[in-house]
Amino acid sequence: MRTTELAWFKSSYSGTQGDDCIEVAIAEQAVHVRDSKDLSREDVAVGRAGWARFVRYVAQG
């Protein structure tokens, strides 16, 4: 799947003032992450298990 076909979304914590933000798109095999202010850069694909570990770590504070 091409990244242009993915459904990208921003965090609910993102501001509307042009703040730095990432966008995430969930695909069958990976979670894609990109810089919302520089779409010319390639996205980073992370395995779903790795993404789940990352989210759990961040949620712990």
Pairwise pLDDT comparison (5 vs 4), residue with the higher score: 5
- Is a pLDDT exceeding 70 seen at residue 58? yes
Domain locations along the chain: 3-59
Dump pLDDT digits (tens) for 8-51: 988 777 766 666 688 999 999 999 999 888 888 999 999 999 99
Q: How confident is the model at residue 2 (pLDDT cuts 50, 70, 90)?
A: low
Q: What is the pLDDT of residue 19?
A: 62
- Is a pLDDT exceeding 70 seen at residue 59? yes
One-letter amino acid at 3 equals T
